[in-house]
Amino acid sequence: MINSKTHGKIIRKTEVTHISANGIWILTGDKELFMSYNDFPWFKEAPKGKILNVEEPTLGHFYWPDLDIDLSVNIIKIPPYSP
């Protein structure tokens, strides 16, 4: 995390590090998380640019504004359903 002294907020860098045939890897802080297309199928046909545009508005909460998808670390680690 980077501390911005000017505004006093903590800025957390979150990014999609890899898009494969099986799913997506995102890096947040010191954690890398994998999202399988089997568990998160709405990403499979999404354009790469829209997948890469991810934000972390609050700690552990991810938002893809171009896709209108909100996910938490817990949902990514333990998907809410099985195929």
Mean pLDDT of 6-16: 68
Q: Are 62 and 56 in contact (CB under 8 A)?
A: yes
Contacts of 11 (CB under 8 A, 6+ apart): 1, 2, 3, 4
Model confidence at 80, in pLDDT bands (50, 70, 90)? confident
Burial class for 62, CB neighbours closer than 10 Å (0-12, 13-18, 19+): buried
Least Cα distance to 26 among 71, 81, 67, 82 occurs for: 71
pTM of the predicted protein model: 0.80
Mean pLDDT of 10-18: 82
